[in-house]
Amino acid sequence: MPDHKAIYNEEAVNYERLVSREDFQGNILKAIQAVLPLQGIDVVETGAGTGRVTRLLAPFVHSISAYDTAAHMLEIAADSLTRGGWHNWSTSVAEHRHLPAGDGSADLCISGWSVCYLVDWNRQGWKTDVAQALDEMKRILKPGGWIVLIETQGTGFTAPHPPEHLVEYYRFLNEHGFQSTWFRTDYRFETLEMAKELSSFFFGEEMVAKIEGVILPECTGLWWKRYSEK
């Protein structure tokens, strides 16, 4: 498996090339909109990366503050948001457990494919790390605010097949009152050569065998919880 820490710290351009091919069906936005209304809300996004979720939400929300630990990832996000003509966003370097956002400042705190790395990179103490992240997200919510987490349910599969080391994390979320659903977020590449290059870049050579034409199937999960009180 490729070193994702190194990719996030050094390979923002290739990472954006990959994720820009993801979810050609447009299911991520549909799933979020099925949970809560986006029009006119204030959003904090953690683990924003190169801004794929940020770009989905920017046309609807009042404001979105995008945080990530990798400054060069955020540079790509900022450039794409600027080129998109949106002005309701900001970016800043920060991590899930220490957010430079005020108490009660957001209607939604959302994180895509990122809180899971608190599990990946601390297999022994991840419950403490995830609990701290959720507490920090809750801190910045307005009463009635939402936490939404997007995580993998298996790349290369047409039905949910979550990575084994994340199953307990997903159970942890359910035990803490999160509801969940899943949907397809297949990658569609321009050519088979591009599919092989970018799939192996992030997921490893073994993923090449899962490509169907120029499509790499993928399942994604959405977890959400609304906080009626602080």
Instruction: Tell me what pLDDT residue 125 has.
Output: 95
Instruction: Tell me what pLDDT residue 50 has.
Output: 98
Q: CA 129, CA 23: separation in Å to the nearest integer?
A: 29
Instruction: Tell me what pLDDT residue 228 has.
Output: 82
On whether the pTM is more than 0.85, the answer is: yes
Q: CA 35, CA 180: separation in Å to the nearest integer?
A: 10
Total number of domains constituting the chain: 1
The secondary structure of 111-177, three-state, reads EECCCHHHHHCCCCCHHHHHHHHHHHHHHCEEEEEEEEEEEEEEECCCCCCCCHHHHHHHHHHHHCC
pLDDT digits (tens, 9 = 90+) for 128-155: 999 999 999 999 999 999 999 999 999 9
Write out the H or E segment, with its range, that includes residue 6.
helix 4-10
Provide the percentage of residues in the chain whose pLDDT is more than 90. Answer: 98
Q: The CATH number of the domain where 188 resides is what? A: 3.40.50.150
From the number of C-beta atoms within 10 Å of its C-beta (0-12, 13-18, 19+), residue 171 rates as exposed
Residue 104 belongs to a domain: yes
The answer to whether residue 71 scores a pLDDT higher than 60 is: yes
> Which residues, 6+ apart, have CB-to-CB distance to 5 below 8 Å?
121
Instruction: Tell me what pLDDT residue 196 has.
Output: 98
pLDDT digits (tens, 9 = 90+) for 98-135: 999 999 999 999 999 999 999 999 999 999 999 999 99
Residue with tokens 């899930």: 96
The answer to whether residue 230 scores a pLDDT higher than 60 is: no
pLDDT digits (tens, 9 = 90+) for 164-195: 999 999 999 999 999 999 999 999 999 999 99
Residue 13 belongs to a domain: yes
pLDDT tier for residue 158 given thresholds of 50, 70 and 90: very high
pLDDT tier for residue 57 given thresholds of 50, 70 and 90: very high
pLDDT digits (tens, 9 = 90+) for 5-38: 999 999 999 999 999 999 999 999 999 999 999 9
DSSP 191: S
pLDDT tier for residue 229 given thresholds of 50, 70 and 90: low
With contact defined as beta carbons under 8 Å apart, do 30 and 222 qualify? no
| Phi and psi, residue 67, nearest 5° | -120, 145
Residue 229 belongs to a domain: no
Structural domain of residue 159, as residue ranges? 4-224
Q: CA 48, CA 15: separation in Å to the nearest integer?
A: 13
Residue with tokens 């490893």: 204
- 178, two tokens: 């999160």
Residue 230 belongs to a domain: no
Instruction: Tell me what pLDDT residue 40 has.
Output: 97
Instruction: Tell me what pLDDT residue 1 has.
Output: 82
